Structure 1
Amino acid sequence: MQQRSLGSTGLKVSRLGLGTMTWGRDTDEHEARDQLIAFAEAGGTLLDTAAGYGDGASEELIGTLIGDVVGRDEIVLATKAGISRRTGQRVTDTSRGHLLTSLDASLKRLGVDHVDLWQVHVWTDDTPLEETLTALDLAITSGRASYVGVSNYSGWQTAQAATWQRAVPGRATLASTQVEYSLLNRGIEHEVVPAARALGLGVLPWSPLGRGVLTGKYRSGTPSDSRGATEHFGGFVGVYLDERGRSIVEGVARAADGLGWSPLEVALVWVRDRPGVTSPIVGARTASQLRGALGIEELSLPREIVDALDDVSGD
């Protein structure tokens, strides 16, 4: 798998990343092992998790696989902090104290002394931005993280954070921004992508397959074994099962039929090759599904297909 530079940094990552949001909850140890093996065998390196995924269960599971399935130096290990559900409710906290405590807990669960990329998972209005960013500086200077980034920031938030970090020599410059991006959700093209490109941040799209909808699996209903059928993901998937979503999915399906590809391949190649994108983060339910995504390495979309998809999915 090709490697790309993460923004303007020297960090190289595979141009597809492996997401682990469901690991330790819906994805058990055996399935996670099979996915990681398939990913590593395909040349994948970027492994993405977060302290809030399964309240740490994802990181704990990854920790059991590092050194067993893959060597520590064979992966680019990325995690995030700022979202917790330990109280039963979604809680956001980007204070310096909470972020650094969360990072230490992540390192313990992962069984490592540092992560390659540490990201603030969400913007909050409760903590001054400059305080949040000092946590990133301390993570770098203490050796607990090699690179830092943000996640789910709007365009102006991304620009403000990146500019603040560049204003004074010695601060930790931002390497990346992780945001939702797919043919079903192109909102970041207006401000986030231009800000990231201007300020040297690599874009890491999450849900590049439109929360699974762009695979075409929901065209005739909700499969009983799909994420859309689960209590905790039903609403998450359902937002794209509207008339606009159906129109875009049908456009992807027509393109796939014409190319002899799967809808998954069309949708994933489209986002992988968009301007500013470094590495889409793909989360799969099974290793078989993941292998379908990993098979796109040699594929590229013809210009006329890209134009047609832009037409059907544009604002």
Structure 2
Amino acid sequence: MEARHLGRTGLRVSRIGLGTLTWARDTGERDAADQLKTFWEAGGTLVDTADVYGDGGAEYLLGRLLEGLVPRRDIVIATKAGSVPDPDRRFDCSRGHLLAALDASLERLRTDYVDLWQVHAFDPATPLDETLQALDIAVSTGRARYVGVSNFSGWQLAKAATWQLAAPGVRARLASTQMEYSLLQRGVERELLPAALDLGLGLLPSSPLGRGVLTGKYRRSEPPEDSRGASEHLAPFVAPYLDETAGLIVDAVSTAADGLAVSPLQVALAWVRDRPGVTAPIIGARTAAQLTQALSVEALTLPDEICRALDDVSAPVHRYPDQDWSEL
């Protein structure tokens, strides 16, 4: 699999990443092992997780698998910290919480360091410079090789990245930002993606298949029994992308797939993989067979006319203040 630099850094990662959101919850150890081995054998290196996935079980499972199944040196581990299972406070990005969470992640992952450590979300209750100090400490102590953020808005990302570049002292420059991005969710193109491009950060799109909807599996009246849409705890996650507008985009993806003799999954994934500023979409699969289908996108590059058609049918409405003043 082709490798790309993560933003303006020397770290190279596979241009498709493996997500572990469902590990230790919907995905057991055997299926996780099959996925990791399939991914590694295809040349994949970037594996994304978080300390709250499976209440820590995803990290624990990944650590077990890296002890015997796949060499640790071949895998770029990206994990996150900052989310808390507390109904009164969704995020805690204080220096104390983040560094304690990192130590706990390293213990579960059975490793001395993570390759990419990410702040899971912006915490308005903690001064941003305190949050960023935790990233500096993580890098300076060798517990993290690179750092990034996740689920930051455009202004939050620009403020954090600029602080790391401009504040005095040895600072850990941000390498990446992770956000949802697909043909069904192009909101990052409004402010966040331009900021990331300007600041030299790599974008790691989550849910690049529109939470599974872009595979076309939900075109029937009832979701397949083994799908997220039929899952009690994941159905609300899928539901926002089952409206009429999404249906028109899914129809266009399916039409393009028919014309290219490939699957809708491959078309949707190739589109987001090759967008400007994207380093590696993060794919979450239920089985190794599903993952294999996604990884087959490596051989696909969409024709320009297909890209333009998909751009047009999925284009978000961006007017003032994004619209050129000469057009107002």
TM-score by length of 2: 0.94
Which amino acid is the alignment partner of residue 258 of structure 1? G
How far the C-alpha of 1:67 sits from its partner, in A, is: 2.6
Alpha-carbon distance between aligned partners in 2 of 1:138 and 1:203, rounded to the nearest angstrom = 23
Superposed CA RMSD: 1.0
Equivalent position of 2:112 in the other structure: 113
Structure-2 residue corresponding to 1:269: 270
Change (3 A) 1:127 1:45: same
1:219 and 2:222 aligned: no
Q: Superposition pairs for residues 77-88 of structure 1, below 5 Å?
A: 77-85=77-85, 87=86
User: C-alpha distance in 1, partners of 2:260/2:152?
Assistant: 35
Q: Distance in 2 between matches of 1:312 and 1:60?
A: 42
8 Å Cα contact 1:179/1:203 also seen in 2: yes
Query: 1:196-235, aligned counterparts within 5 Å?
Result: 196-220=196-220, 221-235=222-236
Tell me which residue corresponds to 2:238.
237
Name the structure 2 match of 1:42: 42
Give matches, 1:132-143, under 5 Å. Answer: 132-143=131-142
Secondary structure of the 2:289 match is helix
Residues 205, 280 of structure 1: 8 Å contact kept: yes
Identity of aligned residues (%): 64
8 Å contact 1:55–1:84 — kept in the other structure? no
Structure 1: how far apart are the matches of 2:67 and 2:28? 18
Query: Which structure 2 segments of 5+ residues have no match?
Result: 317-328
Deviation at 1:198, TM superposition (A): 0.7
Give SS of 2:25's match: coil
* In 2, Cα distance between equivalents of 1:109 and 1:231: 28
Contact 1:179 1:205 in 2 (8 A): yes
User: Which 4+ runs in 1 deviate beyond 6 A?
Assistant: none
In structure 2, the partner of 1:285 is: 286
Helix, strand or coil for the counterpart of 2:297? coil
Distance 1:290 1:77 in 2: 18
Deviation at 1:91, TM superposition (A): 2.6
Secondary structure, counterpart of 2:298 in structure 1: coil
Whole-Å Cα distance in 1 between the matches of residues 224 and 89 of structure 2?
Answer: 28
Alignment of 1:1-315 (within 5 A): 1-85=1-85, 87=86, 91-167=90-166, 168-220=168-220, 221-315=222-316
Q: Secondary structure at the match of 2:152?
A: coil
Taking structure 1 as the reference length, the TM-score comes to 0.98
| Count of residue pairs the alignment pairs up | 314
> Which residue of structure 1 lines up, in the alignment, with residue 320 of structure 2?
none
SS of 1:158's equivalent in the other structure is: helix
Q: CA deviation at 1:58?
A: 0.3
**Which structure 1 segments of 5+ residues have no match?**
none
